[in-house]
A = this chain, B = another copy of it.
Amino acid sequence: MIDKLIEKIQKTKAPIVVGLDPTLKFVPEHIKEAAFKELGETLEGAAEAIWQYNKGLVDAVCDLIPAVKPQAAMYEQFGVPGMEAFRKTVDYCQSKGLVVIGDVKRGDIGSTSEAYAVAHLGKVQIGGNSVSPFGEDFATVNPYLGSDGIQPFLKVCGEEKKGIFVLVKTSNPSSGEFQDRLVDGKALYELVGEQVARWGEGCMGEKGYSRVGAVVGATYPEQGKLLRRVMPKTFILVPGYGAQGGKGADLVHFFNEDGLGAIINSSRGIIAAYQQEQYARFGSLGYADAARAAVLDMKADIEGALQAR
């Protein structure tokens, strides 16, 4: 799957992943009205609204980008119907040829971690049947519990040829509270990065990158530069572009010399572009076209920054 991701990045010339993080305040009124009219102001109504919203977005941008990253929290907040919308979104994106990164940030131990791995990347055995529960292509994973939390994911990734992105240095302001603390003169995120590189050694794809990726926030370009060196064969998923303050010029250090090795996420900057002054001309009926325009602008920003380095 890491090879498919790389192929798609090369084909689209866009190291971009669109975060499908729907909240009701992003969903245009006409979509909410239709959904609430049919199903009421209920979990079912909200789930239908975000699903229709997602479908419009995916249709508008699927030829431009290699991957999407639905954020599980935004679906879980709508309960069981929300998780149904998550599942439908994963299926729909895959039917359009997109790689799906489930941003689930799961992390547990032993058989529990294996259950999460099975839920999101694998197949569960039920009597004589083997069934895919949610079926993403990648999942994000929290490293705090150590190798016991990661190994079950690696096992499932090996079986299914799928991958994970491990949180290393997150994009938020307080990420340094624990991640930056010095251990023997090295920041904790660097130790985690070294471990990510080791976990990845037995899981190499055919294009020079491992199936074990890392998450490093666009808001920390210096740390990104260091981690690029620490994890040369690790693909880096970079959140924090746009709304969180990261710019194209901050991103160049996350890429290797081959122009690969990183994929930049933007969520609200794309999916709620129509609510920004820059794309207000599209109006809420044109929310999907606004998203397409924002993807094209983001692509140009990153291309420009990479060429200028």
A interface residues, Cβ below 8 angstroms from B: 21, 23-24, 32, 36, 41-43, 45-46, 71, 73-74, 76-80, 82-84, 87, 105-113, 115-116, 118-120, 124-129, 131, 133-134, 142-149, 167, 170-179, 181-184, 188, 191-192, 195
Contacts and interface: CB of A to CB of B under 8 A. Distances in A.
A73 B115 contact: yes
A179 B45 contact: no
Q: Which 6 A-B pairs have the closest CB atoms?
A: A146-B177, A41-B127, A79-B133, A146-B174, A73-B115, A76-B119
Given A43-B126, A83-B83, A84-B80, A146 B112 contact: no
Given A146-B177, A167-B144, A175-B148, A131 B76 contact: no
B172 A110 contact: yes
A41 to B, nearest CB: 3
Contacts of A116: 73, 76-77
A108 B105 contact: yes
Nearest to A150: B174
Contact of A79 (B76, B111, B119, B171): B119
Given A42-B126, A80-B80, 12 more contacts: A21-B112, A23-B111, A46-B124, A77-B115, A79-B87, A83-B83, A109-B171, A144-B167, A144-B179, A146-B177, A148-B174, A177-B195
Contact of A42 (B109, B129, B178): B129
A239 to B, nearest CB: 9
A91 B205 CA distance: 45
Given A127-B41, A142-B144, A80 B74 contact: no
**Residue of A125, A143, A172, A182 with highest tally of chain B CB at under 10 A:** A172
17 contacts: A24-B126, A36-B126, A46-B126, A71-B115, A73-B106, A77-B115, A77-B116, A79-B124, A79-B134, A80-B84, A144-B178, A145-B170, A146-B177, A146-B179, A149-B174, A177-B195, A178-B192
Contacts of A124: 43, 46, 77-79
Contacts of A128: 41
Contacts of A115: 23, 71, 73-74, 76-77
